[in-house]
Structure 1
Amino acid sequence: MTPRTVMAVGGHIGDMDLAAGPLLAQTVLDGGRAVLVALTPGERGHPRLGVDEYREQKIAEGTTFAAGIGADFHVFDDLSDGFLEPTDDVAARVARLIRQVRPDLLVAHWRTSIHTDHEHACTVAERARFLAGLPGYAPEDGERHGVAQLLHAENWEDEHGFVADTYAPVSAAAFDRWREAIGGQAFARGETYGFRYIDYYTAQLTMRGCLARVERAVAFSSGDGSRVTMLG
Structure 2
Amino acid sequence: MNRSVLAVGGHIGDMDLAAGPTLAKLVGEGANATIVALTPGERGHPRLSPAEYERQKVAEGEAFASAIGADFMVLGHSEGFLPDTDEVALELATIIREKQPDLVITHWRHSSQRDHEHAARLTERARYLADLPMEHELPRHAVRTLLHAEHAEDLRDFVPTAYVPIPDEAFYRWVGAIRHQAFARGETDGFRHIDYYTALMTMRGCQAGYPRACAVTDLSGPEITKLSGP
**Other-structure match for 1:146:** 142
Q: Which secondary structure does the structure 1 equivalent of 2:202 belong to?
A: helix
**Other-structure match for 1:89:** 87
The alignment-based identity, stated in percent, is 58
Task: Spell out structure 1 runs of 4+ moving beyond 3 A.
Answer: none
Q: Is the 8 A contact 1:113 1:158 kept in 2?
A: yes
**Other-structure match for 1:29:** 28
Residue 207 of structure 1 aligns with an amino acid whose one-letter code is M
**Other-structure match for 1:115:** 113
Cα distance between partner residues in 2 of 1:73 and 1:64: 9
Structure 2 residue 74 is the aligned partner of structure 1 residue 75: yes
The superposition leaves residues 104-147 of structure 1 with CA deviations (integer Å, 9 ceiling, x where unpaired) of 11111111100000000001100000000112x2322x110000
Q: Which secondary structure does the structure 1 equivalent of 2:80 belong to?
A: coil
Q: Is the 8 A contact 1:168 1:230 kept in 2?
A: no
**Other-structure match for 2:201:** 205
Cα distance between partner residues in 2 of 1:101 and 1:219: 25
Gaps of 5+ in 2: none
Question: What is the TM-score when the length of structure 2 is the normalising length?
Answer: 0.95
Cα distance between partner residues in 2 of 1:100 and 1:224: 23
Cα distance between partner residues in 1 of 2:5 and 2:225: 17
Q: Is the 8 A contact 1:209 1:218 kept in 2?
A: yes
Cα distance between partner residues in 1 of 2:2 and 2:201: 21
Structure 2 residue 8 is the aligned partner of structure 1 residue 9: yes
The superposition leaves residues 62-85 of structure 1 with CA deviations (integer Å, 9 ceiling, x where unpaired) of 000000000000101x21000001
Question: What is the TM-score when the length of structure 1 is the normalising length?
Answer: 0.94
Structure 2 residue 85 is the aligned partner of structure 1 residue 101: no
Q: Which secondary structure does the structure 1 equivalent of 2:153 belong to?
A: helix
**Other-structure match for 1:56:** 55
Cα distance between partner residues in 2 of 1:118 and 1:15: 9
Cα distance between partner residues in 2 of 1:156 and 1:229: 24
Q: Which secondary structure does the structure 1 equivalent of 2:147 belong to?
A: strand
Count of aligned positions = 226
Residue 135 of structure 2 aligns with an amino acid whose one-letter code is A
1:192 to 185, 188, 191: 188
Residue 109 of structure 1 aligns with an amino acid whose one-letter code is H
How far is the alpha carbon of 1:230 from its aligned partner? 6.4
